[in-house]
Structure 1
């Protein structure tokens, strides 16, 4: 197994670590600002999540640079991404920091686009990530970290940064999902 695929597998193994830290909150240290509490385990979870999310770009870069692209990696990389994003979204719903409809919308979009890519792959077509989708991913990561940290440090100054990021996350999720299906409608028409 090559290095890029090992990094992808490491991202999968970080999923239960992040969810454990979020859902089994250790109160060895807490910070409360304006009636919002952030625990030490939530801060560690956010750091682990950032590490895991950053491996997405790293594994792809290494695979391309060193010509390590494999079918296994092509299949596993998007699965690892969906697992990480879905697990954190569901955890945030459980923590009552995110509305369930937002998580359902985002997870549904992720799986719909993955299905579109699988249909395209059967036809021998590779659908690359669009610029909007890359922005969507970055916004999702920032929004989820803000929610994990319960809006820390923005709660110091009373700025609802986490709420703003959730709205942006929903907007870019919808926009990028529609963009994929509009740009690839020929794939859908051929297979319908």
Structure 2
């Protein structure tokens, strides 16, 4: 049973890494014009649309695989607790980012808070399965990825064109790398 759950978590993280790579490609194609001054057209525009659709498929599939494997290993109430915690954190951050930092809400806030909830579930599952060291690595990487994402989210609209473009790329690249590292850290199937 653990082997199947670990494999699902590993596959899910590889899919999350692919999601980040495709999302980053879409970002580069559609948000570079803010810097470069020309809008993506023709085949490049088609590549961008295919990239974001691929990111959605990989992200949903990856989250489903990851959470399915983690839920099989986690203590009883962990999936519900991580979901409730993510929803509560989202609502608090939505209020804070709007009221304190005057940041208009976008989908990215939902995405990186949901990602944190998913990784918290993974850390709990790994710890419960007897892999405390791996659980600690996952938790640490998740906190770092989350903090960087939140800082970039708050700063995005305050930056000039090129810095805001880079600011949008940073969380995607970091979470993609974190997903690869976690995929490599999840215990191998015997």
Tell me which interval the TM-score lies in, with the shorter structure as reference length. Answer: 0.3 to 0.5
TM-score normalised over the length of structure 2 = 0.38
Between structures 1 and 2, the one with greater helix share: 2
TM-score normalised over the length of structure 1 = 0.38
Between structures 1 and 2, the one with greater strand share: 1
